[in-house]
Structure 1
Amino acid sequence: MRTVRELRLAGLFAYLASLVIALLLSLALHLLLGGQGELGWEGFNAYGLLEGLLFLLAFTWSLALGQRATRIPCSTLLTAGLFGPRAAKRLARPLARVEGVEAYEGRGLALLYQEGRPVGLLGLSDHILPLEEVPSVEAETAVTELAPLFFQHPIVLVVQGEEVLGAVPREAYFRYLGA
């Protein structure tokens, strides 16, 4: 699972690589045409339009290729990494802490603690779900990286070291994505 910082850096590098590729291809065409292309600098001609069109096509193609290769969100790629997805800890909802099963009131999700350590999750089914069966991610993991986990599980725990910060339910994840 990648962090927000890693996705932002990948977006920056993919954007810059696309820009360099498009500029180099446009320069190559400019040199092939004998330097006659003028697009807004000193004049305007058909060669300049051809160079500009090649730049746009190469930039768009390399951006699409970069997005497929790095699997980063479109907004992160198009802003050159300025806007990244949220961290999982910002989308996580806090969970109630229960020291024993008898203290659980049956409303919502709760973490079952024994001897000061979390051991299970209450509220998803009729029984206690051990924490080993619930997927968990680090707090700085990008929210967009959680998609594969939600195909099999309705909830993902957000942890920082040994501490459980909260949980991201499937509904909150899809609401974040706008679906």
Structure 2
Amino acid sequence: MRTVKELRLAGLFAYLAALVLGLLLSYFLHVLLGGGGRLGWGSFNLAGLLEGLGFVLAFTFVLYLAKKAVRVPCTTLLTAGLLGPAPARRLARPLPRVEGLEAYEGRGVALLVQEGRPVGVLGLADHILPLEEVAGVEGEVAVSELAPLFLRQPLVLVFRGEEVLGAIPREAFFRHMGFGA
């Protein structure tokens, strides 16, 4: 699982690679066409239009390939890493803490705590699920990286070290990603 910082850096490198390759192709066309291309506010000609079109096509194609290769969200790629995806800690909602099984009322998901330390999750199955069996990520992991976890789990726990910050339910994840109402 990649962090927001790693995705922003990947988006920056992919964008810069697309920009450089687009400029190189445009320069190659400029040299190939005799160096007379003009594409600007004051004047333009056919060679300049071909150079500009070559840049746009190369830039777009390399961005497309980079998106497939580095798997970054479109906004991160198109802004050269300035806008990154949200971290998991931002989407996580706190879970109610239960000190013992007798305090659990059977409504919703709750975190079972013994001696101040979380030990399991109640409400996901017919029994207590130990924390090790529930999918969990660090708080700095990008939300866009959680999709494979939600294919198998209805809930993902978000940690900061040993502390449970909260949980992200499947419905909230899909709503955040734009797949739900």
Deviating above 2 A after TM superposition, structure 1's stretches of 4 or more consecutive aligned residues are: none
Distance 1:108 1:152 in 2: 19
| Structure 1 residue 41 displacement after superposition | 6.0
Matched, 1:55 2:58: no
Q: Per the alignment, in what secondary structure is the counterpart of residue 151 of structure 1? A: helix
Q: How does 1:30-109 map to 2 (within 5 A)?
A: 30-40=30-40, 43-109=43-109
Separation of aligned partners in 1, 2:72 and 2:105: 41
Deviations 1:11-58 (CA, angstroms, capped at 9, x unpaired): 111111100110011001101111011111652111111111100100
Return the letter of the residue paired with 1:134. V
Deviations 1:43-97 (A, max 9, x none): 2111111111100100000000111110000111011111111000000010111
Counterparts of 1:49 and 1:124 in 2: how far apart (Å)? Answer: 60
Question: Which ranges of structure 1 fall in alignment gaps of 5 or more residues?
Answer: none
In the superposition, the TM-score normalised over structure 1's length comes to 0.97
The answer for unaligned runs of 5 or more in structure 2 is: none
Q: Give the TM-score taking structure 2 as reference length.
A: 0.96
Sequence identity (%):
72
Aligned residues: 179
Paired residue type of 2:175: R
Q: CA deviation at 1:114?
A: 1.7
The letter for the 1-side match of 2:102 is: E
